[in-house]
Amino acid sequence: MLRFEKALLRRGTFALNVDLELAKGDRLALIGPSGGGKSSVLDAVAGFLPLGEGRLEINGQDMNDAQPATRPVTFLFQEHNLFPHLTVAQNVGLGIRPNLRLSAEDHQRVTKALAEVDLSDHPHKLPRELSGGQRQRVALARALLRDKPLLLLDEPFAALGPALRREMLDLVARICEETTATLIMVTHQPEDAARIAGLTSVVADGSVSQPLLTEELFKNPPPTLKAYL
């Protein structure tokens, strides 16, 4: 459902070659050293970084000239996924209507999504009154409502402790199953990849390696991955 064809991503003097194909429902972890270009891959999928060369296809449609708004993608950043002046419920509601004119039915959907991520008690709180984990859960509730075929995670749980991180990853896995979404996530932690992603690619030395089964990749790491680990 997603295909990079001889794509070249450029950011200043940095360049990254991407040749990659994913099927619907795949879960891919991108692992590798800082500055290797992991986030650039996500930015290219979401349309925040135009391709220097090559092609990007999602669901069989050419995406090269598509604006970020028209791409079937939900992106979770490390921080700032919520607007600080809007309540939890409003932040989730943005996933239905950006102007927040919600019908009674829409409000019900928001309530249901918040229940799914265990935040039923706090719909009227502001983001600053929540913990880091709760904030990312609000963003996940919105992802659930948006129900886009592609979910991109740029280390949204990096600042959380190990137990909480595992819990959040399980929640992501559940959401992917419910929405049958394809997942690409950037991570620094091999155990995160092992927990949720069936496939893993190494992003280093200016290219993205072909996705391999995560278990086998870590059992038998190539030199670039060995150097990173």
Q: Which is nearer to other proteins, 76 or 217 (CB)?
A: 76
- Of the CA atoms within 13 Å of residue 39, those in its CB half-sphere come to 13
56 sits near other proteins (criterion: CB under 8 A): no
State the Cα–Cα distance between residues 91 and 141, nearest whole angstrom. Answer: 9
Greatest alpha-carbon pair distance for the chain in Å reads: 56
Start-to-end CA distance of the chain, whole Å, equals 30
Look up residue 125 and give its two tokens: 């709180």
65 sits near other proteins (criterion: CB under 8 A): no
Look up residue 96 and give its two tokens: 């239905």
Q: Which is nearer to other proteins, 88 or 225 (CB)?
A: 88
68 sits near other proteins (criterion: CB under 8 A): yes
- Judged by CB under 8 A, which stretch of 78-86, 166-174, 202-210, 218-226 contacts other proteins? 78-86
Cβ contacts of residue 187 below 8 Å, gap of 6+?
29, 30, 31, 155, 193
Q: Which is nearer to other proteins, 101 or 219 (CB)?
A: 101
- Judged by CB under 8 A, which stretch of 69-77, 160-168, 185-193, 198-206 contacts other proteins? 69-77
Q: Which is nearer to other proteins, 77 or 218 (CB)?
A: 77
157 sits near other proteins (criterion: CB under 8 A): no
Distances in Å between the alpha carbon of 35 and those of 20, 95, 155? 20, 31, 14
Contacts of other proteins in 162-221 (CB under 8 A): none
13 sits near other proteins (criterion: CB under 8 A): no
48 sits near other proteins (criterion: CB under 8 A): yes
Contacts of other proteins in 79-138 (CB under 8 A): 79-81, 83-86, 94-95, 98-99, 128
Among residues 133, 130, 142, 201, the alpha carbon closest in space to that of 166 is found at: 133
- Of the CA atoms within 13 Å of residue 36, those in its CB half-sphere come to 21
State the Cα–Cα distance between residues 158 and 143, nearest whole angstrom. Answer: 18
Look up residue 168 and give its two tokens: 């959040």
Q: Which is nearer to other proteins, 13 or 99 (CB)?
A: 99
Q: Which is nearer to other proteins, 70 or 120 (CB)?
A: 70
Shortest Å, Cβ 44 to other proteins: 12
Q: Which residue ranges make up the site for other proteins (CB under 8 A)?
A: 46-48, 67-69, 71, 73-75, 77-81, 83-86, 94-95, 98-99, 128
